[in-house]
Structure 1
């Protein structure tokens, strides 16, 4: 089953760890124990338009099952992604398709994975039914392997009707420590919980004889998700409009898997500097630890198509009383995954090799992230390989195009001889300041730019004393990126955050 609690499963892992037995487990069963602050190799962590990610741990691997975020009629299949380290991901295409489900035609949404007794189950919604006379709802498919292929277990939907006003979509399956399985689901602002029988393909009943129990919390819209930590049950859900910037994640806590659930806080929302439309999440706990990650989808700032959603994850922290801290969408990229997803280039020949982002010699090539920071701290490692020019960081950039100074914004760079330069571009170059620093041929420098209002400071290696400090308020916000001028260079360990 997916590891979602620090109850019985986590206690077993803790016992193994404390006894030194983890080393005796085979590589196929030992789960990697990453300790990241976010997706350190960059969000999105996989390529393509996807949404509604649900994560499970199977046989020592993390498995993410998302919705294919395409036009309505093209949502006819599901892909999966697996990883041992949450950095390198393998794509498994078409683990489930409508060709394997006789009653499903389109709108295959929100896969929910779970393992039981050696069988792998994948719950999904299909056909986006609008009333009880239409065919569709929540189905269940089964496979002998995590990557499928998954086949229809019933030949019909498991839940095909509206109950308590809940559209049968956006299901999540949770197995409690006592072995009881529950499904949480619902759209149209209503949330139900049902019991699953041990066969995982039929519904049980509650003590009062009912099958469908409504547990709708305040502001619930869709995308419910359940996990357990330290004996407490956490219900998470999405609110707002899925195409709008107000899409977000809230949560409630309870002593029971069936509630009652009262909203505590909104913990994940759009950040106008990073991404919009963040929601429909899942959660994973690294076994044997109290390290948690929230997986979700979001929309890049420059995208207006509702289906242009990407998969991301960030660290999730808890307060001493068990409540969840508000989650910050962090911006980092150490290129350890061998790609530069999320970066857009303007001129030059760019590649990722040896865990670094590289560009050949060019008279002004730049690559930008889809960010819009105003006040920030921006760090990166810069290695100037050859040439008479310089390489470094661009920021508060708008209107980028191919050409040496074809953008509006700022640039701070360093040359092979140790000259540090800060300037402003808007089709032409205006120098704002220069300095010198000691260098060795081909050496790597840690560069930092802090910008708060009109105050701009550039640091090189020494992060305490700025090499250049100026006041210039020409550009207030924009994208962050990297750039070369008449040189070849490489970049690594990019990190951007709001200035405090």
Structure 2
């Protein structure tokens, strides 16, 4: 609808001013009505919202919907930034100290598809750094991109002449190359017992003051950064480093701000152990005091172990928050085999942070299958779907270990005259071959049958089967719920189960998908606790 009005260019009288005001009110109502109607006609999907101001897709996910880890490779200690509407993640290369001589970065326009930027900073660019290049912290100021990093794992009792600590590098682009800005550590000594590692840099929107939060060995400090961002400032009392150590602090400082509240976050526990986790404190000032509120992220024996050392992403202009962190896959025994993941972080009405749930999903929108291990057959992702080529038997498993679960997926394009495709759960002994495992399998055949059976090292036992409606080119929504010994199988109708049985053969194990004597396509995989 278009409304046109002519307003005299002459000095307005009281009457014309009143007319102008009426026209402005009318036009405002029209704009609001059009905005409401437009919003109603294009409601947001589960996975994205449209930012009308900038015509950008706002990532509104429950987790990394395309799967965690969201990038390939061994990485840890991620920190994040948003530069020109592009999301950036800067992690540690998770190998032995001697191999940690470089830093990579990853960028994405949508938190789904990521581009790898190799060797943005290496020890070749830092004269005093030898190894153990850790936990980069990015920030932008004064037309430059700064990257703060730890190097050399310096100890408090280090011999004279041994150099290490927190350095600062600078670049003209987010992807670098970065070069050492000052030729020596920015913070190269212990202050208040804090090892100079695991820094986060924060610029307060109140006065533009930049702060660096850091610390290992169970002590945390805060210091001011001068305007140049490459030198340490001084507090009003003449000191440069203030201790802010909260209860249970170990390492991994992180500062965020929401609704005027400062949230100091950190990792506690041992980085190799089951107690590694993330906790936080709240304060009205950037200097604290910081009293521990709660733990919000910890390992889940069904999903991953040793979850911690994180960064945070707040989608601009929204209250959508993500925690980006590292964790160790369940099947990995090497301490350095850590991967990057992110999950949604929610705030309660009182401003506290709700515990984070590590969700398991994969819609293959990134065209990858990073967290899957295959046994038999030929597996590949095409058009955001996982495909199993025709074979006698093939399985693809997530690195999970669920007992009670709700397991969802869609299955389509089932091929083979006598073939079937379905979901595998509570599975163990996976490495012995495609058909040689222990666990349950719920499948669908093109002949119009849904069935539940169990495999026990090559021995197949049918438990129950039922009929389903068959359509050409159909996509089936299949759900498994398993709580204790009760197992239910749903197909399309998620209110009424096709199969309900009691069986106690297997209590927990991996989840996956599979085919027998045919092929199929899988999508929208989700595994959760009931």
The TM-score with structure 1 as length reference comes to 0.94
Of 163, 177, 185, the match for 2:191: 163
What is the match of residue 489 of structure 1?
A: 520
Q: What is the distance in 2 between the residues matched to 1:68 and 1:342?
A: 18
Q: Is the 8 A contact 1:364 1:403 kept in 2?
A: no
Q: What is the distance in 2 between the residues matched to 1:486 and 1:265?
A: 51
Of 190, 199, 223, the match for 2:219: 190
Matched, 1:415 2:445: yes
What is the match of residue 7 of structure 1?
A: none
Using a 3 Å threshold, how does the CA distance of structure 1 residues 219 and 433 change in structure 2: closer, same or farther? same
SS in 1 for 2:309: strand
Q: Is the 8 A contact 1:277 1:298 kept in 2?
A: yes
Q: What is the distance in 2 between the residues matched to 1:308 and 1:31?
A: 35
Equivalent positions of 1:8-157 (< 5 A) are 32-131=57-156, 133=160, 134-157=162-185
SS in 2 for 1:267: strand
Of 340, 355, 363, the match for 1:311: 340
Deviation at 1:73, TM superposition (A): 0.1
Matched, 1:463 2:494: yes
Deviation at 1:442, TM superposition (A): 2.9
SS in 2 for 1:365: strand
Equivalent positions of 1:352-371 (< 5 A) are 352-371=381-400
Higher Cα Rg: structure 1 or 2?
2
Deviation at 1:298, TM superposition (A): 0.2
SS in 2 for 1:148: coil
Of 434, 442, 457, the match for 2:465: 434
Q: Is the 8 A contact 1:365 1:402 kept in 2?
A: no
Q: What is the distance in 1 between the residues matched to 2:324 and 2:294?
A: 18
What is the match of residue 11 of structure 1?
A: none
Q: What is the distance in 2 between the residues matched to 1:302 and 1:375?
A: 19
Q: Is the 8 A contact 2:366 2:384 kept in 1?
A: yes
Q: What is the distance in 1 between the residues matched to 2:497 and 2:272?
A: 42
Deviation at 1:384, TM superposition (A): 3.6
Unaligned runs of 5+ in 2: 1-34, 40-49
SS in 1 for 2:169: strand
Q: Is the 8 A contact 1:369 1:481 kept in 2?
A: yes
SS in 2 for 1:278: strand
What is the match of residue 294 of structure 1?
A: 323
Matched, 1:477 2:505: no
CA deviations over 1:33-75 (Å, ceiling 9, x no partner):
1100000000000000000000100011000000000111000
Matched, 1:498 2:529: yes
Matched, 1:450 2:481: yes
Q: Is the 8 A contact 1:125 1:170 kept in 2?
A: yes
Q: Is the 8 A contact 1:65 1:113 kept in 2?
A: yes
SS in 2 for 1:37: coil
Q: What is the distance in 1 between the residues matched to 2:57 and 2:52?
A: 12
Q: Is the 8 A contact 1:32 1:60 kept in 2?
A: no
Q: What is the distance in 1 between the residues matched to 2:462 and 2:430?
A: 19
Of residues 435-444 and 333-342 in structure 1, the stretch that sits farther from structure 2 once superposed is 435-444
Equivalent positions of 1:267-286 (< 5 A) are 267-286=296-315
What is the match of residue 13 of structure 1?
A: none
Using a 3 Å threshold, how does the CA distance of structure 1 residues 86 and 166 change in structure 2: closer, same or farther? same
Q: Is the 8 A contact 1:300 1:370 kept in 2?
A: yes
Deviation at 1:404, TM superposition (A): 5.1
CA deviations over 1:150-174 (Å, ceiling 9, x no partner):
0000000000000000000000000
Matched, 1:325 2:354: yes
CA deviations over 1:399-445 (Å, ceiling 9, x no partner):
01354530000000101122101001012100000001001123110
What is the match of residue 290 of structure 2?
A: 261
Deviation at 1:201, TM superposition (A): 0.2
Unaligned runs of 5+ in 1: 1-16
The TM-score with structure 2 as length reference comes to 0.88
Q: Is the 8 A contact 1:126 1:136 kept in 2?
A: yes
Q: Is the 8 A contact 1:405 1:429 kept in 2?
A: no
Instruction: Give the root-mean-square deviation of aligned CA atoms.
Output: 1.5
Q: What is the distance in 2 between the residues matched to 1:399 and 1:233?
A: 48
Of residues 124-133 and 402-411 in structure 1, the stretch that sits farther from structure 2 once superposed is 402-411
Q: Is the 8 A contact 2:407 2:480 kept in 1?
A: yes
Q: Is the 8 A contact 1:88 1:337 kept in 2?
A: yes
What is the match of residue 393 of structure 1?
A: 423
